[in-house]
Structures are given as C-alpha cells and as structure tokens.
Amino acid sequence: MPALPAAKPVLRLDPTRNWVTGARQVSSPNCDDRPVPAEISLVVIHGISLPPGQYGGPFIDELFTNSLDPGAHAYFAEIAALRVSSHLLVDRHGTVTQYVPLSRRAWHAGKSEYRGRGACNDFSIGIELEGCDDDAYCDVQYTTGAALVAEIMRAWPGIGPDCIVRHSDIAPGRKTDPGPAFDWERFRTAVAACRHG
C-alpha cells in the first residue's frame, strides 16, 4: 500500500509573535529594526519566481541570503547584488519558509505608500507567493497564505481586512505582483473564512 503524504504542519505564531511554527527557517541578513514604536498594521502579498516564470530550486533562498550566483542564469546578473528579503514565502507546494522575524523590518516593499504613509516596510509584514503575474497560483497557496494572514491578524488585531494589500497596490506603476493571475477576491474570501472558521 502506498504511503500517505505527510500532513502539512499547523502554522501558528509562537508566543513572541516572531516565528511561525511549522515553517522552514532560513535566516536572511537583509532586515533591521523597525522604527519605534513598531506598530505592525499592514500585510503585503507579493509574487516571486526565479528565474522569472520558473519554479522550484534554491534561488529564492539564495536571493534573500545574498548568495545568488550571478552566473547561474542571465537574469541573475541583474539582481544578484540586490539586498532584499521577505518575512515569509509560500511555495507552489504550500511549504512555508520564514526569512525574517515578524518583529523586524524585512526589505520587501521598496518605495511604497499606503493611505498617505510611505516606507511600508516600517509597518508591514511581507508574504511572497511563488508565482508570476500570468500563471495561475496553486490552490494550496490560497489556503496556506490565507491561514498565515488570518494568524497574523489574530496576533495584531489592528490589521483589518482592508489592511491586506497587493504589492501593486502600494507601489502602483512600479510593481505588478502578485499580478492578474492571482485571484484577489478568492484570497480575501479565504482569509475571512480562516478568521471566522
């Protein structure tokens, strides 16, 4: 009889609200202290694939840990020197990787603005979904991503449903992710179901 697939770990924030239990931990140096007071009030959803349109492999980890080989792909020569990170990544299989403690400032949003307030990295949590603008995201990314957002909202009750945004919402004209292939209404409905379920 074939072995059953391993159950996905339950994703919860630890008591410090810094770490997601059940997530892979890969420490990124690309973070710093948030300004005081460090009031987290926004969640930003991104899309990422390296190389663009390709999935799997070590390249996202390498980008966020400053170890991406610029010679491994022509596109990498353009980005290998960037110093960027995100708090969390949900890959195409629903596996969650955490790069930065939630209390610290990850470098994910760049030049950005939300409701007249700039520098969104200061007060946001960044979640990357492995994907690109024109490819459908996977069902498990909707369910896992929504569960993560709901858990974050429980930890920071000031984050309301209107405080979950796409990267393109806070950097219009500069960023397009997670793109038109990401079903935003489906995701928002899934977040609401996780919060009230």
Which pLDDT score, from 0 to 100, does residue 6 have?
A: 46
What does the chain come to in residues? Answer: 197
Distance CA 161, CA 192 (A): 8
Distance CA 163, CA 44 (A): 8
The single residue of 113, 128, 151, 185 carrying the catalytic annotation is: 128
Tens digits of residue pLDDT in 159-172: 999 999 999 999 99
**CATH code for position 147:** 3.40.80.10
Question: At 19, is the pLDDT very low, low, confident or very high (cuts 50, 70, 90)?
Answer: very high
Taking residues 151-159, what's their average pLDDT?
95
Q: How is the beta sheet containing 96-98 ordered, strand by strand? A: 24-25, 96-98, 88-90, 124-130, 42-48, 164-166
Instruction: Give yes or no: 130 in active site.
Output: no
Question: Is pLDDT at 3 greater than 90 in this prediction?
Answer: no
Which range marks the domain in which residue 104 is found? Answer: 37-49+87-196
Taking residues 66-77, what's their average pLDDT?
97
Which pLDDT score, from 0 to 100, does residue 93 have?
A: 97
Determine phi and psi for 21, rounding to 5 degrees: -70, 145
Question: Is pLDDT at 5 greater than 90 in this prediction?
Answer: no
Does residue 122 fall inside a structural domain?
Answer: yes
pTM for this entry: 0.95
Distance CA 136, CA 84 (A): 25
Does residue 54 fall inside a structural domain?
Answer: no
Per DSSP bridges, beta strands 88-90 and 42-48 are unpaired
Which pLDDT score, from 0 to 100, does residue 167 have?
A: 98
Q: How many domains does the chain have?
A: 1
Taking residues 127-142, what's their average pLDDT?
97
Tell me which residue has tokens 């390709």: 54
Which pLDDT score, from 0 to 100, does residue 9 have?
A: 60
Percent of the chain exceeding pLDDT 70 equals 95
